Amino acid sequence: MTDETDGNDCLEQLDRLLSRERAMLLSGDLQELGELLRKKKDLIDRVVADDWAEKLADLHGKALRNQALLDSTLRGIRNVATRFANLRRIRKSLETYDEFGHKLSVPTVSDSRMEKRA
């Protein structure tokens, strides 16, 4: 197998990998993302080592598109984590203001028992 055939195969594999990564990001299926990122790095390292960088123009666009999706996914995950933290904080205390306009935090008692009436 020639170097050019090797490089083309590597580029094709990278192209398929980027398409798969995009599908995973759009569907929210993030379980295999770590393994996929490792494979992507290995393929990119091979392509760069074989001096195939000039043939990466199309793949570069796909990689940029996927990076935007990754950034959006991370922002979404951070927003959800922040929202959950706020909900936990709200559940544990009541925030109000005193007669002087100072913010007060009043701890709430969480009673998980249920009262049964006949």
Determine the pLDDT at residue 34: 87
What is the enclosing helix (H) or strand (E) of 21? helix 3-27
Asked if residue 113 belongs to a domain, the reply is: no
Within a domain: residue 45?
yes
Report how many domains make up the chain: 1
Could you tell me if residue 114 is inside a domain?
no
pLDDT digits (tens, 9 = 90+) for 57-77: 778 888 899 999 999 999 999
SS3 86: helix
Q: Is the pLDDT of residue 8 over 60?
A: yes
User: Quick one: average pLDDT of 20-29?
Assistant: 89
Per-residue pLDDT at 3: 52
Token pair of 96 as six digits = 């109000």
- CA 27/CA 6 separation, integer angstroms: 32
Q: Is 8 among the domain residues?
A: yes
Q: Which domain, by its residues, includes 80?
A: 3-107
In angstroms, what CA-CA distances link 114 with 61, 72, 108, 111, 118?
A: 57, 41, 17, 8, 13
More confident residue, 114 or 89: 89
In a domain, 112, yes or no: no
